[in-house]
Amino acid sequence: MSLSVEETAEAVRRAKEGQSMANYAAIFDGFEAKGIPIEAITPRENVFTYNVWKAMGRQVRKGEKGVRVVTFVQYEKNGETKRSPKTTTVFHITQTDEVSDNV
C-alpha cells in the first residue's frame, strides 16, 4: 500500500508532533543497549518508524534492528472514532542512509 503525498506529509507531521512520552524509556534503553549514546537519542527528531524515515528521504539499512514500541492507531467504526494499540518498530538516524535520487 502506497501513501499519497498528502498522507505521507500527515504521517510525518504526526510523528514529529506527537505528545505522548510513554515510549521514551523503551527508546532510550533500547538504543543505548545498541551502543548509541543517550545524548544522541532524541525521539521525534532522530527516532522514527521505517515508513516515516522513507517519507523523509532516508532508507533504513538492511539488517538493522530497531526498538519495539506501542503506538495507537485511530480508525472509524460505526461512525465513531476509536483508537487501538499497535506494536511498531522505530529506528535511530544512525541506522539509516539518505536516499539518492540517482537510483
Predicted local distance difference test score (pLDDT) of residue 15: 65
In a domain, 51, yes or no: yes
Q: Look up the pTM and report it.
A: 0.77
Q: DSSP string covering 33-96, please? A: HTT--GGG--BTTTEEEHHHHHHTTEEEPTT---EEEEEEEEEEETTEEEEEEEEEEEEEGGGE
Using one digit for the tens of pLDDT, what is the confidence trace for 14-67? 666 766 788 899 999 999 999 999 999 999 899 999 999 999 999 999 999 999
Query: In terms of residue numbers, what domain contains 36?
Result: 5-98
In a domain, 73, yes or no: yes
In a domain, 103, yes or no: no
Q: Are 69 and 89 in contact (CB under 8 A)?
A: yes
Q: Is the dihedral of CA 80, 86, 91, 92 positive or negative?
A: positive
The residue ranking higher by pLDDT, 3 or 22, is 22
